[in-house]
Structure 1
Amino acid sequence: MYGCQQTLISHNNELKAILKYVCAEANKLSNCGLYYARQMYFKAGKIVNKFDLHKQLNKNPHFGALQSQTAQQALTTIAESFKSFLGLLKAYRNGTIADCPKLPNYRKKGLTLVTYPSQAVKLIDHQLRFPLGSKVKTWFGLDAFYLPMPSNLDYKSVREFRILPRGGCFYVEFVYKLESVSSDVNPDFALGIDPGLNNWLTCVSNVGTSFIVDGKHLKSLNQFYNKQISTIKENKPQGFWSNKLASITEKRNRQMRDAVNKAARKVLTHCLNNKIGTLVFGWNKGQKDSSNMGRVNNQKFVSVPTAKLKDRIAQLCEQYGIKFVETEESYTSKASFVDGDFLPIFGEKPEGWKSSGKRTKRGLFRTFADWHINADCNGASNIIRKVATTLGLDLSGVSRGALSTPLRLRIWS
């Protein structure tokens, strides 16, 4: 497993010019590699490998403008994208995937990611030395640029350094090897997660605990962002973009990444504190693409990065030895967990199927026994029940208190 730490580069005008030049040359080299690879595919029906690209383009002026290993990495990425295209094309012909893949296309004029392998970067007096190409030294008299090394990382553990241009800023990414953490957890203890909007994550366990990760603040940030974008773009031509729009978007994206990391950590901490060894996440593939909740609600729902949060939780589970299970969540909100209603799969609902309980008003679910419980907690419990038989989970520990009064956790509290 590998982790990635992203650090914003505080740069002066000289360093910014160097970073822009390096990322622009990498973008041009990528397009040169794409041209050669596309022509080989069109005219010879051949998918090029990375060695062909390295051999054909090592005399290219854009290749010489970059450090040799960095230039090779840019071309290797092109070869890997064509290899992935071939694999997807076979899967499409076999009927494994529904959409026909497209051949990798040229990049737009601008900047792109630059990758330095660890052996190309040296640590000198707590500063990382990033070498430049031989032609840059000849043209401009520069052989390297320097960036500070973060104090929380071990230089020897870093496998790769990346210069990432985004939103008018530059970031340096440190890719490092993650060590697995030994955790005292029990696989019979399970936590069910029901994703939503105001209640971003509703979590119920079979050890009598429950909590909700609040999503109202996150929704508010997205609403304000959309309002700002709409105001600035008003009466502007289609496709209008500016530095201010880029700055606003970058700030919003940082907030979303921060929310994802903090919410995932809250879930993991709860699992470790209660020795929960199985995590069941309810997820319907393509649910955002096919959402039909109206224009306003669709905008709110689609802009919240729940899929990234799911992936982040899965990564943490793998690192800490917690079993992560993803299951479809059809009818989990309608069926009554307390009454043990049958849970159909989407598209396979039996004729005449009816829930024993009913959602009486927003956020409240009434069971057949006239219990009033939290509607999202009912859904989260049913998500565990979807896989309980397969995983051999005992759900007798799901208490009435956990279903009725979940603890609300706020991300930025």
Structure 2
Amino acid sequence: MASRGDVAVTGLGLVTPAGNDPETFHQTMSAGRSLASTDPSFAGLPVDFSCRVTDFDPAAELGDRLAGRLDRFAHLGLAAARRALADADLSLPLTGADRVAVVLGVGCNSLEHYVREFGRLHEDRPTKVSPLALARSVPNMVAGEIALDTGARGPNFTVSTACASGATAIGTARDLLLSGACDIVVTGGSESGISRMASTGFSQMRALSTWTDRPEHASRPFDTERNGFVLGEGAAVLVLERREHALARRARVRAWLRGYGASADAHHPTSPHPEGAGVEQAARAALADAGFSPRHIGHHNAHGTSTPAGDKAEAMAVLRLFDGTPPPVTAPKSILGHSLGAAGAIEAALSILALQHQQVPPTANLQQQDSGRELDVVTRTPRTLAHEHALSTSCGFGGQNAALVFSAA
């Protein structure tokens, strides 16, 4: 039963390695096979594979001129926003645009064109630096471009909590709606971390998997042989509406966003709290916000990056949260790789689809879990979902955590 704190999810737009529409995305994720493969753009680097979006042509979708002045993360985010608005049956230009907000999560500014422009400067060719270098690369531009594209004139900004950015954006959007500041929010996350600089930087940190001979087996959350994540990219955008607004326009409701929680580990710049205290705190806050206890949750979408320390800490947190008997868990990064600031939004979308289809998608590559920290991870094939509520958790550098609770419509 809906309450005053419920926010309706009325639209869903995707651009991901697993597909660019909800049904294709759900079917690919249900197959449970990793999409990682050798990446020619990484040739010569210590880690030469990734999870790329392949079925997407920015020029064909956005037009040559618009695509030419935007960077990859904005291409992905703008395309996903258009799809989400169409899915919500909202036509452009938007009516009531003063009451439509845009809140996007982006983990960092572009590492693609920015690096190229710095190279020109380093070569003492400042006049060759593109006049679009800054406007193309700053993180807030994806939210600004969505407003330009749709005419949305409400609050407009980007949030950055590293790899929790997409989830933080969705939670912040819910707060805007509940405050009465707007009626609709276009929200989610967009990121393309697939650049030589990103790969090199994460490789130097020893954060990436080094299974270069078997990239399809490299991302293996919660498996004893995990040794790092796989770089990915993508975008997911949700259309959120105040309950009354959605019902008044007779919108189809895909799910209800019931709760949001956030926290900081206050522990280390890049390593999680060793016992997962921060992500547990965020999850408990989200459950309290929804008016739920852990026993109400029938599915947990885990952050699950496939790093030794991260998965260990998260497993400990989940076992404490659910008093040793967690619900079925899925770790989408085993299939999609890690799309950084977009990951929390893509995984929120997957949580919604799991509720709609009443199936928990499987995790790829899991053979054996750490002794004493075994979760009920779904593997090989989807599992029937017996409950109506799902929890999705996200974590990021800086110790920033976010958790979202969704309910079936």
TM-score scaled by structure 1?
0.21
Q: Which has the higher contact order (CA 8 A, sep 6+)?
A: 2
Task: Say which structure is richer in helix.
Answer: 1
